[in-house]
Amino acid sequence: MQARAATLTDVAKEAGVSLATASRALNGSDRVVRAELHARVIEAANRLGYTPNAQAQSMARGSTDLVGLMVNDIADPYFSTIAAGLAAAAEQQGLLVMLCSTGGQPEQELELLAALRRQRGRAIVLAGSRIDDREHLRELSDQMEPFIAAGGRVAAISEPKLSVDTVVVDNKSAARDLAVRIGELGYRRPAILTGPEKLLVSRNRRDGFVEGWSGEEPIVVADEFSRDGGFNAMQRLADSGAEVDCVFAINDLMAMGAMAACRDRGLDVPGDLAVAGFDDISTLRDVTPALTTVRLPLTEMGRMALEMVLGEPAAKPRRRKVRGEIIVRESTPPR
Amino acid sequence: MQARAATLTDVAKEAGVSLATASRALNGSDRVVRAELHARVIEAANRLGYTPNAQAQSMARGSTDLVGLMVNDIADPYFSTIAAGLAAAAEQQGLLVMLCSTGGQPEQELELLAALRRQRGRAIVLAGSRIDDREHLRELSDQMEPFIAAGGRVAAISEPKLSVDTVVVDNKSAARDLAVRIGELGYRRPAILTGPEKLLVSRNRRDGFVEGWSGEEPIVVADEFSRDGGFNAMQRLADSGAEVDCVFAINDLMAMGAMAACRDRGLDVPGDLAVAGFDDISTLRDVTPALTTVRLPLTEMGRMALEMVLGEPAAKPRRRKVRGEIIVRESTPPR
DNA sequence: CTGAAAGCGCTAACAT
DNA sequence: ATGTTAGCGCTTTCAG
């Protein structure tokens, strides 16, 4: 058992050719190697179980086959779906994806961005809501700037808070449309279950809904941006005794939590209370009552982000808007 | 704008010290650098926006900070949860995760394994059911063998078909237990909705259930290992006119599909038909009726795999068994 | 068409 | 404590 992997030099020696020839035969772009030698090299490589060392190749070539992907939480279906889209696209291009899950913690995000930078990936995609924290945004930019100056590319899938190419979800207008639709369905007193104030998604989806709502100002209850957050928020809402006929949860996970809370209290959805979510998580498309929500082309968004970040660099950061599609289902029947 | 990233040499020059000193100050393990110089180097590095080139470091050091993770489909909550566990563990150790999503295609799996090998990661974790295809298993082994011989580590999360350390889910016995439990609840004629025959999970979960079942042999309907597969299988089962009082879907996604199919046909779950799944996907814990299933510690499994693959290499491949916990919920009430 | 040799950015002996 | 220098494995001129 050899304690180290076979190198090109080993292969060259084994095949009785020069390093250069071996390189050309195995990984070279131009096929300027005589067929016979070529075969000999290939054979030697197989015999030795040789695999090129990508690190060394990157160094020599000055470019890698890596792209970084940073998400808040890969276990969240929102992000895993985006990741799937991006991974599929990357694989088509022969690129490898380095995955970082930040847990939504700003320090983590910075640290992982640094790790990604170190790898000298071709590009980095930042998926996930921006936190509206001036200081943090500046630190992020400080990291990205030298990376970009050195030819690295960065794109985001989020609110357009960073000055990089970004796939922006038009949260606000989609939420606005949803509000209008809810109104048309005959609801009169909606409540909004939102996430932390500092998350831009939370704010935009909430604000959009409020904007689109023409009746009296909706009640707003904030909690975590998760299933449990939805559950708790719903409980507090119910405890408050507020009279509402409909609840808009800022995302599907919160909506699920809210529905669970309703069940616990014997509130019938949609009989006693209608519920709407946002994202249209595919795993949740079969829940009952079927959830009214805003469909986002998550897989597509991952693909788009990779496309942007790999395509021709633009002088100014580009924004590719993604529109949400309102999907009305049983959880908000006309009343 | 410089077209290349700042190098250690640049930093050394800027700080007026030698390459070695700069290296020691910035990335060296021992702090043998005078405070004043140290500061000067750090400062120069900041000024230049320097970040070490991980590739170069790996080459020089002879080891990387990368681990590879291969999953069937990162959009599948089963895998994304495992990935989350593994990613969290990796991050604690300062390791970066390279993610590959194979789409369950054997050729893809081979190709991505090669890509991972090339990166010279410290370790590779293969998550996902093994396909019982002799040829394919051999090709996988052929790839892994030189990687392992050269000091690489490999672990799997699956059926113990590969001779590497593996976190094995005791699918068979868990399914067996589930069958017993279903029987105790008073069901008499179960059907099994299973996945493709060549997937080991499918077979084991099915076989386990059959083994545990003491009444007459359950009907088995096979389809894809997905929500749609469950939907289709359920339809075919219903079409067949078979009289069953309970359906065991080989995983939660299929169970959801089956429940959707029931709904389409006006079959009440669990009134007309009870349904059980497998995995206990967290996103689905709030569905109604709440799904009876087998809980797997998915996050933990990801962590365990990384632990094994990073720990002391064993002479023989180790197996760390993970037991599933039967969770009876409303979808299979006593009858 | 093939080989020799100069790097790529960094670490780690080995000197001083 | 700091500097010099020889690689790490590969690609890519530059010669032949």
pLDDT digits (tens, 9 = 90+) for B200-251: 999 999 999 999 999 899 999 999 999 999 999 999 999 999 999 999 999 9
Does residue B3 fall inside a structural domain?
Answer: no
Q: Is 80 exceeded by the pLDDT of residue B1?
A: no
Q: Is 70 exceeded by the pLDDT of residue B103?
A: yes
Answer whether any strand D atom is within 7 A of the Cβ of A333: no
Average pLDDT over residues B86-107: 94
Are A156 and A268 within one domain? Answer: no
CA distance, residue B126 to nearest chain A CA (Å): 16
Query: With contacts defined as CB-CB under 8 Å, which chain A residues touch B81?
Result: 75
Are B154 and B181 within one domain? Answer: no
Are B117 and B223 within one domain? Answer: no
The DSSP annotation for A230-281 comes to: HHHHHHHHHHHT---SEEEESSHHHHHHHHHHHHHTT--TTTT-EEE-SB--
Q: What do you get for the CA distance between the two ends of chain B, in Å?
A: 74
Work out how many CB contacts closer than 8 A connect A with B: 198
- CATH value at residue A20: 1.10.260.40
| Per-residue pLDDT at A130 | 83
Does residue A59 fall inside a structural domain?
Answer: no
Does residue B60 fall inside a structural domain?
Answer: no
Does residue A328 fall inside a structural domain?
Answer: no
pTM passes above 0.75: yes
Are A26 and A123 within one domain? Answer: no
Does residue A333 fall inside a structural domain?
Answer: no
Are A139 and A209 within one domain? Answer: no
Q: Is 70 exceeded by the pLDDT of residue B318?
A: yes
Per-residue pLDDT of chain A (335 residues; tens, 9 = 90+): 457 899 999 999 999 999 999 999 998 766 678 889 999 999 999 999 999 999 999 999 999 999 999 999 999 999 999 999 999 999 999 999 999 999 889 999 999 999 999 999 999 999 998 888 999 999 999 999 999 999 999 999 998 999 999 999 999 999 999 999 999 999 999 999 999 999 999 999 999 999 999 989 999 999 999 999 999 999 999 999 999 999 999 999 999 999 999 999 999 999 999 999 999 999 999 999 999 999 999 999 999 999 999 999 999 999 999 999 999 999 999 98
- Residues of chain B (98-117) having a beta carbon less than 7 angstroms from strand D: none
Are B165 and B184 within one domain? Answer: no
DSSP, collapsed to helix, strand or coil, labels residue B296 as: coil
Number of structural domains chain B divides into: 3
Q: β-pairing, B319-322 with B165-169?
A: parallel
Confidence of residue B111 (pLDDT cuts 50, 70, 90): very high
Does residue B111 fall inside a structural domain?
Answer: yes
Are B162 and B303 within one domain? Answer: yes
Are B137 and B200 within one domain? Answer: no
Does residue B333 fall inside a structural domain?
Answer: no
**How far, in Å, is the CA of A20 from the C1' of nucleotide D4?**
29
Phi-psi region of A127 (alpha: psi -120 to 50; beta: other; left: phi over 0): beta
Are B244 and B318 within one domain? Answer: no
Q: How far is CA A145 from the centre of its chain?
A: 21
Does residue A331 fall inside a structural domain?
Answer: no
Are A213 and A195 within one domain? Answer: yes
Q: Is 70 exceeded by the pLDDT of residue B152?
A: yes
Are B246 and B223 within one domain? Answer: yes
State the residue range of the domain holding B187: 171-296
Phi-psi region of B241 (alpha: psi -120 to 50; beta: other; left: phi over 0): left
- CATH value at residue B156: 3.40.50.2300
CB B143 within 8 A of CB B164: no
Average pLDDT over residues B277-289: 97
**How far, in Å, is the CA of B330 from the C1' of nucleotide D2?**
72
Are A92 and A237 within one domain? Answer: no
| Per-residue pLDDT at B129 | 81
Query: Cα angle vertex A186, ends A329, A206, to 5°?
Result: 70
Computed over every residue of chain B, the mean pLDDT equals: 95
